[in-house]
Amino acid sequence: MEETVVNSSDPNKINQPAVGEWKNNENISSNDNYEQNIVETLNDATLNYHLERESLIVERQDHYLSTAELRYRQDNGCSSENTQDMWVSETDLKNHYDNKNNSGYRKGTGGYNKSNNGNNSHEKSYGNDSTSNSGHVRGRGRGRGRGRGIIKRYDEENESFRDEYDSGINNHGGNTAPGHRGRGRGLNRGRGGRRDQSGSGGWYGNSEDGHKKNENDKPTIPKAPYIPPDIESEESIAGIEAGLNFDKYNTIEVKVSGINPPKSITSFHSSGLRTILLDNLSNCNFATTTPVQNYAIPIIIDGRDLMASAQTGSGKTAAYVLPILHNLLKQPTQLIYDEHHCEPHVVIIAPTRELVSQISECVWKFSKGTDIRNGLLYGGTSVYHQKSKILQRGVHILTATPGRLIDFVEKGIVTFSSVKFFVLDEADRMLDMGFKPDIEQVLTNSTMPSIESRQTVMFSATFPSEIQHMATSYLKSDYIFVAVGEVGGACKDVVQTVMEVTKFKKKNALLDVIKTMENCQGTIVFVERKKVADYTAAYLSEVDFPTTSIHGAREQPEREQALRDFKTNKMKILVATAVAARGLDIKGVNYVVNFDLPKTVDEYVHRIGRTGRLGNAGKAISFFDPESDGPLAPELIRILKQADQEVPSFLNDAAERILASPAIDNFNDIRTNVDVTSNLVAAEEEEEW
Indicate the residue among 430 and 461 with the shorter CB distance to ligand ATP.
461
Alpha carbon 653 to its chain's center: 34
Indicate the residue among 584 and 681 with the shorter CB distance to ligand ATP.
584
Binding residues for ligand ATP, total number by CB under 6 A: 23
With binding defined as CB under 6 A, does residue 640 bind ligand ATP?
no
Query: Strand runs (DSSP E) across 18-116, as ranges?
Result: 112-116
Query: Measured from the CB of residue 435, what is the shortest distance to ligand ATP in angstroms?
Result: 16
From residue 308 to residue 347, the character string flagging contacts with ligand ATP as x (rule: CB under 6 A) and all else as - is --x-xxxxxxx-----------------------------
Phi and psi (nearest 5°) for 33?
-55, -35
Query: Measured from the CB of residue 558, what is the shortest distance to ligand ATP in angstroms?
Result: 23
| 627 CB burial (10 A radius; 0-12, 13-18, 19+) | exposed
Considering only CA atoms, which of 486, 436, 433, 430 is closest in space to residue 458?
430
Indicate the residue among 412 and 588 with the shorter CB distance to ligand ATP.
588
Task: Say which DSSP state 496 is in.
Answer: E
With binding defined as CB under 6 A, does residue 294 bind ligand ATP?
no
From residue 419 to residue 458, the character string flagging contacts with ligand ATP as x (rule: CB under 6 A) and all else as - is ----------------------------------------
Distance CA(122)–CA(168), nearest Å, equals 11
Which conformational region is residue 645 in: left (phi greater than 0), alpha (psi within -120 to 50 degrees), or beta? beta
Q: Which stretch binds ligand ATP (CB under 6 A): 3-11, 199-207, 286-294, 411-419?
A: 286-294
**Using the rule CB under 6 A, which residue among 143, 149, 192, 239 binds ligand ATP?**
239
Contact 432, 357 (CB under 8 A): no
Phi and psi (nearest 5°) for 8?
-105, 15
Query: Strand runs (DSSP E) across 127-240, as ranges?
Result: 129-130, 143-155, 160-170, 181-183, 193-195, 202-204
Considering only CA atoms, which of 142, 133, 70, 141 is closest in space to residue 106?
133
Mark out the alpha helices in 233-315 (DSSP H runs): 275-283, 291-301
**Using the rule CB under 6 A, which residue among 109, 115, 125, 289 binds ligand ATP?**
289
Indicate the residue among 239 and 261 with the shorter CB distance to ligand ATP.
239
Q: Which stretch binds ligand ATP (CB under 6 A): 283-291, 413-421, 534-542, 654-662?
A: 283-291
Query: Measured from the CB of residue 567, what is the shortest distance to ligand ATP in angstroms?
Result: 12
From residue 572 to residue 591, the character string flagging contacts with ligand ATP as x (rule: CB under 6 A) and all else as - is -----------x-x------
Nearest-Å Rg of the Cα atoms of the chain is: 27
**Using the rule CB under 6 A, which residue among 137, 307, 461, 482 binds ligand ATP?**
461
Distance CA(91)–CA(113), nearest Å, equals 17
Distance CA(92)–CA(103), nearest Å, equals 14
With binding defined as CB under 6 A, does residue 614 bind ligand ATP?
yes
Query: Measured from the CB of residue 612, what is the shortest distance to ligand ATP in angstroms?
Result: 10
Q: Which amino acid is at 87?
A: W
Distance CA(137)–CA(131), nearest Å, equals 9
- CB-based closest residue to ligand ATP: 239
With binding defined as CB under 6 A, does residue 375 bind ligand ATP?
no
Query: Measured from the CB of residue 288, what is the shortest distance to ligand ATP in angstroms?
Result: 6
Q: Which residues bind ligand ATP (CB under 6 A)?
A: 239-240, 242, 285-286, 288-290, 293, 310, 312-318, 461, 583, 585, 609, 613-614
